[in-house]
């Protein structure tokens, strides 16, 4: 049997990459915004740190729970579709073969070849063939709730730790400017890394992340300043 050269495509990483990037981005933005908001409200250095640590823990747990629920819903839908397809194969295998033949014919194969491909694939793995070519469910892109939850929580905590470490070492008088500046640098780097991993334009990815993150931090800082003035 001839050996095959198996290519690795970026779409194989889309599940964990999405959760990891989303978690790290939220970790940096939410924690930096929280630190900046409390600092703008004239909080003490210790109260700012407490708020930041609380935001890290709460945010990581929230991200894990939200990602798990969301991806588990997707996994439940996939499983329900597979069970339905399994029942249809058991009830009328011939009709399912005709359906698969039509799918291959629509993709450009002539009828005879499409029928031959459908017969051979169904003989090898009927459910797998229908899952992949009828339902669009493939193993590299299957929903994995636990993996997504762990990646999201871990990346959020890692992202949130960055502005917290800056907060620990920077004097109170420079806190707002230094935390904001370093956080935007971290976010730009994250945007470039995510774009590189996904095969997209790195500068465009960095600019998109930096713009929206800067807006979020500016709004939170403004709210903190108004609250501190009012109180």
Q: Would you say residue 123 lies in a domain?
A: no
Q: How many domains does the chain have?
A: 1
Between CA 153 and CA 224, with CA 190 as vertex, the angle to 5 degrees is 75
| Residue range 48-86, pLDDT digits in tens | 999 999 999 999 999 889 888 988 888 888 889 889 988
The verdict on residue 93 lying in a domain is no
C-alpha–C-alpha distance, residues 130 and 125, integer Å: 9
Q: Has residue 206 been placed in a domain?
A: yes
Range of the domain at 74: 13-80+144-230
In a domain, 121, yes or no: no
Does any domain span residue 61?
Answer: yes
DSSP conformation class of 12: G
Distance separating alpha carbons of residues 77 and 135, to the nearest angstrom = 11
pLDDT at 5: 45
DSSP character at residue 181: H
Determine if the pTM surpasses 0.75.
no
Residue 50 belongs to a domain: yes
How many other CB atoms sit within 10 Å of the CB of residue 31? 28
Q: Tell me the DSSP string of 65-133.
A: HHHHHHHHHHHHHHHHHHHHHHHHHHH-HHHHHHHHHHHHHHTT--HHHHHHHHHHHHHHHHHHHHHHH
Q: Is residue 4 part of a domain?
A: no
Where the chain has pLDDT below 50, the residues are: 1-5, 9-11, 231
**In a domain? residue 134:** no
Both tokens of 143, joined, read 């929903």
């Amino acid at each position: 049997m001839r050996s095959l050269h198996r290519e690795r495509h970026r779409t194989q990483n889309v599940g964990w990459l999405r959760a990891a990037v989303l978690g790290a981005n939220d970790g940096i933005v939410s924690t930096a915004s929280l630190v900046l908001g409390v600092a703008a409200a004239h909080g003490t250095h210790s109260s700012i740190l407490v708020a930041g640590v609380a935001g890290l823990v709460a945010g990581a747990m929230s991200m894990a729970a939200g990602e798990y629920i969301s991806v588990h819903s997707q996994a439940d839908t996939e499983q329900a579709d597979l069970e339905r397809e399994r029942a249809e194969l058991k009830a009328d295998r011939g009709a399912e073969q005709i359906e698969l033949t039509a799918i291959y014919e629509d993709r450009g194969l002539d009828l005879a070849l499409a029928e031959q491909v459908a017969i051979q694939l169904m003989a090898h793995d009927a459910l797998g063939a229908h899952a992949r070519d009828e339902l669009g469910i493939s193993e590299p892109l299957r929903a994995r709730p636990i993996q997504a939850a762990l990646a999201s929580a871990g990346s959020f905590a890692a992202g949130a730790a960055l502005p917290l470490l800056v907060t620990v070492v920077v004097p109170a008088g420079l806190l707002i400017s230094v935390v904001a500046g370093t956080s935007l640098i971290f976010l730009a780097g994250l945007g470039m890394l995510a774009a590189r991993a996904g095969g997209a334009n790195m500068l465009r990815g960095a600019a998109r992340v930096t713009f929206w993150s800067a807006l979020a931090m500016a709004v939170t800082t403004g709210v903190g300043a108004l609250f501190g003035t009012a109180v």
